[in-house]
Amino acid sequence: MSATPPMPQAHGNIPNYLAWSIISTVLATCLCCPLGLIGIVAIVFSSQVNSKLNQGDIDGARRASANAKTWCWVATALAIIGLLINIIMFATGGAETYLQMIQQYQ
């Protein structure tokens, strides 16, 4: 008789969204404001996915993945809002006002 090897747990492909979380955090912080640093929450959850998978915590990895995705969307939304604000500001002469402010400070 041959012993059957243990079946690996089928957990599918659980994405960690790490690249998305880093890019959206950087863009949100640069384009929006320090509020964009909220994307760090996405980075934390993203980094938890692989460690939970390595520990065998499939449900925890799925929860971390879902949370990472949610916070990535929040950071992405902040980046888009910041981009739109910057476009509107520069389109309405905001750049000139900004340069005048800088000259006054000097």
Return the amino acid letter for 15.
Answer: P
Q: For residue 57, give both structure tokens.
A: 């915590």
Does this model's pTM top 0.85? My answer is no
Sequence-distant (≥ 6) Cβ neighbours of residue 68 within 8 angstroms:
16, 17, 18, 21, 42, 45, 46, 48, 49
Residue 106: strand, helix, or coil: coil
Q: List, as one string, the DSSP characters of 3-37.
A: PPPPPPP--------HHHHHHHHHHHHHHT-GGGG
CB-neighbour burial class of residue 104 (10 A; exposed 0-12, middle 13-18, buried 19+): exposed
Are 65 and 17 within 8 A, CB to CB? yes
Q: Which of 12-21, 44-53, 73-82, 94-103 has the lowest mean pLDDT?
A: 94-103
pLDDT of residue 72: 96
